């Protein structure tokens, strides 16, 4: 909205992608594979990758990712959202092994340092105050905990929700006119940040970038659908061979970043990759 933003309630009711179960479960598989690499648990039984860990999915909506996290062996799993219809669907299907909570991400209902793993996957652009959510996730994350982040980039050419080029580049009033002109929405609510803005948002964390590792080695990260077929194989091989300096030149316009953040200094414990994860920032 051009004159301020309110919380996006009942998001799953008007964003059909949140109810695409197959797609959400594929995303969950990628998240779990990245966490497994970072934690050094790649060889673990799929049902034990998160064994012994308390896990929270912030912005869980209908609960498909939270259900997969529970299925990966988490000792306790929580899903948090303000999407009441989505939470009802989630609780009806998965309430037996996931605790679903209606709460604002800026005031998470968990004690300090009580969660070992947090997932915040493509949510920040929807919330009114993403900095407050990041601050509260820092509070509830254990000192040796891990935060997985899927982060859209303002400078990605194709806007992912409305499929309109350069939409996220525009100031709010112009973006509103753009989505109305193409009949996509009355307002453009989402607010993306650039890579620099995302780094500043995570100033209290140590951050590792898994974007190019996942793109270059999708078979290791349950991302085979990213580049399927012979053309996809060529893309993967090119990424694996591309010098880091050339990849770094592309970073400002990569549409999505996959980052892993920690409160204290930690390094990825997984095996060698053609394009290894790199540090984004340290406090």
pLDDT of residue 5: 64
Q: Is residue 97 part of a domain?
A: yes
Q: Is residue 243 part of a domain?
A: yes
- Return the CA Rg of the chain: 18
Q: Is the pLDDT of residue 196 over 70?
A: yes
pLDDT one-digit tens code per residue, 198-256? 999 999 999 999 999 998 888 889 865 555 556 566 766 777 777 877 888 888 889 99
pTM for this model (two decimals): 0.91
Out of 87-91, 167-171, 183-187, 219-223, least confident range: 219-223
pLDDT of residue 13: 47
Average pLDDT over residues 117-145: 97
Listing DSSP states for 160-183 in one string gives TTT--BTGGGS-HHHHHHHHHHTT
Q: Are 28 and 68 contacting, i.e. CB atoms less than 8 angstroms apart? A: yes
Q: Is the pLDDT of residue 146 over 90?
A: yes
DSSP E strands, the chain: 54-58, 76-81, 99-102, 115-121, 141-152, 206-209, 256-262, 278-281
pLDDT of residue 17: 60
Q: Are 55 and 78 contacting, i.e. CB atoms less than 8 angstroms apart? A: yes
Q: Is residue 259 part of a domain?
A: yes
Domain that holds residue 216: 11-154+192-266
pLDDT one-digit tens code per residue, 1-59? 334 566 665 555 455 565 688 889 999 999 999 999 999 999 999 999 999 999 999 99
Q: Is residue 148 part of a domain?
A: yes
Q: Is residue 92 part of a domain?
A: yes
Angle CA 27–24–210, to nearest 5: 15
DSSP E strands, 82-131: 99-102, 115-121
The residues with which 77 forms a beta bridge, in sequence order, are: 55
CA distance 213 to 201: 23
CATH code assigned at 110: 3.40.50.150
Using CB atoms within 10 Å of the CB of residue 3, give its burial: 0 to 12 exposed, 13 to 18 middle, 19+ buried. Answer: exposed
The domain total for the chain is 1
CA distance 108 to 86: 18
Q: Is residue 196 part of a domain?
A: yes
pLDDT of residue 218: 85
Q: Is residue 179 part of a domain?
A: no
Q: Is residue 180 part of a domain?
A: no
pLDDT one-digit tens code per residue, 77-128? 999 999 888 899 999 999 999 999 999 999 999 999 999 999 999 999 999 9
């Amino acid at each position: 909205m051009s004159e301020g933003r309110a919380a996006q309630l009942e998001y799953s009711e008007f964003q059909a992608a949140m109810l695409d179960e197959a797609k959400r479960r594929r995303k969950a598989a990628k998240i779990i594979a990245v966490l497994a690499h970072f934690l050094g648990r790649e060889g673990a039984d799929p049902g034990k990758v998160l064994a012994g860990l308390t896990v929270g999915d912030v912005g869980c909506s209908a609960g498909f990712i939270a259900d997969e996290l529970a299925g990966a062996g988490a000792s306790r799993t929580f899903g948090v959202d303000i999407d009441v219809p989505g939470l009802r669907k989630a609780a009806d299907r998965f309430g037996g092994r996931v605790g679903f909570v209606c709460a604002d991400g800026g005031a998470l209902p968990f004690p300090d340092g009580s969660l070992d793993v947090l997932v915040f996957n493509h949510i920040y652009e929807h919330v009114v105050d993403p900095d407050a959510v990041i601050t509260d996730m820092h509070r509830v994350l254990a000192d040796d905990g891990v935060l997985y982040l899927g982060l859209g980039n303002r400078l990605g050419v194709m806007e992912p929700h409305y499929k309109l080029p350069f939409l996220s580049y525009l100031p709010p009033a112009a973006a509103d006119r753009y989505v109305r002109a193409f009949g996509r929405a009355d307002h453009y609510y989402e607010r993306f940040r650039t890579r620099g803005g995302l780094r500043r948002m995570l100033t209290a964390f140590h951050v590792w970038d898994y974007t190019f590792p996942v793109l270059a080695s999708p078979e290791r990260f349950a991302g085979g659908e990213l580049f399927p077929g012979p053309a996809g194989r060529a893309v993967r091989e090119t990424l694996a061979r591309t010098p880091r300096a050339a990849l770094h030149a592309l970073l400002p316009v990569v549409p999505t970043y996959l980052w892993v953040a920690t409160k204290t200094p930690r390094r990825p414990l997984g095996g060698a990759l053609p394009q290894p994860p790199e540090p984004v920032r340290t406090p």
